[in-house]
Structure 1
Amino acid sequence: MAVATFSDEKHEDALQSNLVGSEVDDDSIQWTEEEEQKLVRKVDLLVMPLLILGFFALQLDRGNIGNALTDNFFVEVGITQNQYNVGQQLLSLGIILLEIPSNLVLYRVGPTLWIGGQIIAWGLVATFQAFQKGLGPYMATRLLLGLCEAGFIPASLYTMTRWYKRSETSKRFSWFFIGNMGASAMTGIIAYGMQVSPLHMRGVAGLSGWQWLFILEGIFTLLVGIAFLLTFPNTVSNPVSLLRYRYFTEREAQILSLRVLRDDPSKAQVGQNVTAAELTSALTNWRLIPHIGFTMLGISPGSAFGSYAPSLVNSFGFGRLESNALVSIGSWGLLFLNLLWGWASDKMNVRGPMVTLGLLFGLGFNIGNRILVHSDNGDARFALLILSIAFSLPWHAVNGAWLSLNAKTPGERSVTLAIHIMAANCSGLIGKQLFRSEDAPLYPKGFTIIVGITAAAVVLSMIANLQYYLGNGRKLARSGLKWSY
């Protein structure tokens, strides 16, 4: 690997904007398909694992509080169930507030410094939240965790669009969400192990099991952040790490840049700032309205399950500790379905229909949960809950790719992806209040609302499909674009 200076990045990025009029159309710069595929595999091994690890750490630190509930969390912190719900909403609010500003900073600073710094920042909050006592500290740590995590997901999605062609994005977006879903699957098993292992984490150093859960997973996040900061290649045009290693030769870097630009020349229009016109275009794009709607509504049930699934399984008659491990079955199923949805979307070159299909499956299983809400058959209720979790959002990554492919410029794409993830986090404002103490332990009202909002999400996704199908028809005829819906 050659040595290069990290400070060359801005110069290289400035030069990239000139490629569209010169090297992009220069037939003298050619490469074989085998050579390109070899480089893509190298990118897959270099870029994707770090982004996936970051998402894995984010979900561990965001979601482990649901497992803490089975370890006397409410009593020891000194909060009620409804106060807990408000704190979870504050986490979502913190993310929403800084989602777009965070992506504007990313556009200027670059992914290595910004994303790496973010991971370290929320890792510190996640670690020290183990020592919270009382309502005030609980609310403050949830809000601060959200503020520090804001922008990570859209920043990572946008970064991937700089390295991959349009036909490659759905599958890579789905790979990225492995981090989220893998963490959801693992955190229950980790929590179970910490609470019942021979190490007897409860009582070690005078701390509870839930405190050790926060501390150890927070330290893991800090290690991921340091690794990201030191090793991630900052841009496709200048793939240099903070340790000043260049991962690709000059020719390889040129191929990586040109293959993406020839696939989508708009990606050459990159600068150091998102322009006012790009920001305005994204914020006033009426086509985003159905996306925002079905994203908020469609993810809300999964948000509720993320906080209360262990407690729900416990109420079905399963043991307090084993409930944490059993919930992970649904998350493992979701991980598989997420990969399947991404692969199928790229294979068939369709995104919208896959989104609607995923929502329809989720609606069906949510209806089943509502029908059995008063049933004494704990096994049947457990099976349906697991299926609802598994089909809660395999369509989410595909939706991000759908939006990305219809953005006009890199700047607009950056803001659009931020809006997309803002909508996803708005789902937390809804989902965190679906299961309330006065509706416990069966939550009939909660499951009724879940059916209603999932049905509304299905309708909105159909509207989104229709608007792209009709609106992009003439554009397809003129330019040969492949992604109308």
Structure 2
Amino acid sequence: MSAESVSRHSKELKDPEAVAVRDAPAENIYQPEVDTSGIDERKLMRRIDWHVVPWLAVLYLLNFLDRGSIGNAKLYGMTDDIGVTDKQYLIALTVFFFPYSLFEPPSNVALKTLRPSMWLSFIMLVWGLAMTFHGFITNYAGLLGLRFLLGLAEAGLYPGVVFYMSCWYRRNELGSRVGVFFSSATIAGAFSGLLAAAIAKMDGVGGKPGWAWIFILEGLFTVLCAVASFFILSDFPDTAKFLTETERVWVVRRLQADSKYSAGGESFKAKYVWQSLADWKTWLAMGMYMGFDGPLFAFSLFTPSIINQLGYEATVANLLSVPVYAWACIMTVVIGFWGDRVKCRAWLNLGLFGSGLVGYIILICSKNPSLSYFAVYLAASSIYPTIPNSVAWVSSNVEGSYKRSATLAMAIGWGNLNGAVTSNVYRAVDKPWYRLGHGIVLAYIAIGWLSSLAFYVYLRRQNAARERGDHDEIIEGVDNKRANEKNGRFESVEAARMEKGDKWSGFRYTL
């Protein structure tokens, strides 16, 4: 291969939308013998969307609903009925987060090794059973054990789904899909209040209190959906059964043209995990996820209690949380589509984290219930939309399916681990204004803002260094005066990009 052809090839891959996959040399195409010229891109992508996104949104709705239902059950007397103190309740919330965080990286590796339809359905079945048994607890020990099991089972869903979706869509398409998917969390927040208020009316049915029926009915529905998932969920693009062989090849080629070179398949090697650990992007992403995951769990677990302590009774407090989550849902979807269209994820993150800072400053300073309720809207419109935007931003800048899997799992796992902190910051002794809790959440959001800024600066500098040729590898048979032995020696451009992933000199980070 000549230096001119390498240069042209690298330029095309820096701007993957500038050239069709079919225009690449035949030897560089995934399964070159397959003719994909008859594929209708718009029609096929609509079919992929319908097979991938809606059911995942349903699963996450149930995930978020089941996780946060304990906050609704508490308002209907759960802690008094089983003899749990406020301190013990906070400990039970905390116990959930340790297995939830630590099991995420190995779960993502299992997801990549096994079929998504098998692994995601299995963990869903386990957490559905754990949720159902919450309705039969009679003491503190039972609550602790079931919260631990629930955290263990739910751990794999969110990072698994995020990684799974990143294996289907190009970098400028992921944000809108994750936004639609994650909007189900806001729907769960709104729906949980309505559902809890309705189910609580079953108080006394079968000799069980209303709060127990919240767990039992929601858990049984999750179990039913888990069984259905074995048949509904699709696998990765190169093996998905709802696609023909020609369509599978087209999807893989399309992803590879967008610098997702591992889309055609990749064997697991431990070095990919170590590459993730040694990458600055992973650690900055962990700070970013810390900045919204800590506030997310505090918000979802304590919003009913915060509104309740502003002077509203349990049912009214649950119902007043509904419009807050409806607003968060709208913002999440809008930001998801906007991020894909304008391609400015860094500035969106900084703006969203900034609005969260304003919201929590108001919550700390306010003594007016109406003003505090308004600030809750600001907080919701910051926390929820930031998540899909950050997910798309991080996953778009990590190449190599196993490396991306490890990076997302570690970032999400670390972010979720901070839920163990924020689950304890809204203490009963601090009501009705909860200034300590609001202050700690404010600090988390500030960390997210600073991490987003550092992530942007790092990516921009890396792109500039690659334009200068600082990262050029030695390619056998190619005369490149900027190539340096320290950047590696490879037999071809294709070998370099597959081996180095996002460290390849032709890879450009999205800002």
TM-score for the superposition, normalised by structure 1 = 0.88
Counterpart code for 1:248? L
Larger mean Cα displacement after TM superposition, 428-437 or 291-300: 291-300
Distance apart, 1:390 and its partner CA: 3.0
Q: What residue in structure 1 maps to residue 35 of structure 2?
A: 29
The residue matched to 2:312 in structure 1 has which SS? coil
1:235 aligns with 2:236: yes
1:253 pairs with one of 229, 248, 254: 248
Distance 1:92 1:443 in 2: 22
1:157–1:477 Cα change, 3 Å: farther
Counterpart code for 1:439? D
Question: Are the equivalent residues in 2 in contact too, given 1:400–1:420 (CA < 8 A)?
Answer: no
The residue matched to 1:393 in structure 2 has which SS? helix
1:412 aligns with 2:403: yes
Distance apart, 1:22 and its partner CA: 5.0
Q: What residue in structure 1 maps to residue 385 of structure 2?
A: 394
How many residue pairs align between the two structures?
A: 452
Question: Are the equivalent residues in 2 in contact too, given 1:473–1:484 (CA < 8 A)?
Answer: no
1:380 aligns with 2:371: yes
Q: Deviations over 1:118-146 (max 9, x none)?
A: 11111111111111121111111111100
Distance apart, 1:263 and its partner CA: 2.4
1:97 pairs with one of 88, 97, 102: 102
1:114 pairs with one of 109, 115, 119: 119
Q: What residue in structure 1 maps to residue 223 of structure 2?
A: 222
Counterpart code for 1:427? N
2:364 pairs with one of 356, 370, 380: 370
Distance apart, 1:474 and its partner CA: 2.8
1:356 aligns with 2:356: no
Distance 1:211 1:370 in 2: 34
The residue matched to 1:394 in structure 2 has which SS? helix
Question: Are the equivalent residues in 1 in contact too, given 2:292–2:386 (CA < 8 A)?
Answer: no
Counterpart code for 1:207? K
Q: Deviations over 1:174-201 (max 9, x none)?
A: 1221222221121111111223xxxx31
Larger mean Cα displacement after TM superposition, 300-309 or 474-483: 474-483
2:312 pairs with one of 313, 318, 321: 318
Could you say what the CA RMSD is over the residues aligned between the two structures, in angstroms? 2.1
Distance 1:102 1:304 in 2: 24
1:249–1:446 Cα change, 3 Å: closer
2:82 pairs with one of 74, 77, 95: 77
Structure number with greater Rg is 2
1:268–1:253 Cα change, 3 Å: closer
Question: Are the equivalent residues in 2 in contact too, given 1:291–1:420 (CA < 8 A)?
Answer: yes
**Structure 2: runs of 5 or more not aligned:** 1-24, 470-504
Q: What residue in structure 2 maps to residue 463 of structure 1?
A: 454
Q: Deviations over 1:273-319 (max 9, x none)?
A: 3x111010112212222221232133322322222211111111222
Distance apart, 1:165 and its partner CA: 1.6
Counterpart code for 2:316? E
Q: Deviations over 1:192-211 (max 9, x none)?
A: 1223xxxx311111111111
Q: What residue in structure 1 maps to residue 13 of structure 2?
A: none
Question: Are the equivalent residues in 1 in contact too, given 2:99–2:155 (CA < 8 A)?
Answer: yes
Which residues in structure 2 correspond to 1:473-484 (within 5 Å)? Answer: 473-475=464-466, 483-484=509-510
Question: Are the equivalent residues in 2 in contact too, given 1:370–1:451 (CA < 8 A)?
Answer: no
Distance apart, 1:457 and its partner CA: 2.5
Which residues in structure 2 correspond to 1:301-316 (within 5 Å)? Answer: 301-316=295-310
The residue matched to 2:125 in structure 1 has which SS? helix
1:453 aligns with 2:444: yes
Distance 2:122 2:163 in 1: 17
Question: Are the equivalent residues in 2 in contact too, given 1:233–1:239 (CA < 8 A)?
Answer: yes
Distance 2:357 2:33 in 1: 51
Question: Are the equivalent residues in 1 in contact too, given 2:459–2:509 (CA < 8 A)?
Answer: no
1:171 aligns with 2:166: no
1:403–1:456 Cα change, 3 Å: closer
Question: Are the equivalent residues in 1 in contact too, given 2:363–2:372 (CA < 8 A)?
Answer: yes
Distance 1:154 1:188 in 2: 26
Question: Are the equivalent residues in 2 in contact too, given 1:290–1:464 (CA < 8 A)?
Answer: yes
Distance apart, 1:249 and its partner CA: 2.7
Counterpart code for 1:179? S
Distance apart, 1:356 and its partner CA: 1.5
The residue matched to 2:375 in structure 1 has which SS? helix
| Percent identity (aligned) | 27
Q: What residue in structure 2 maps to residue 297 of structure 1?
A: 291
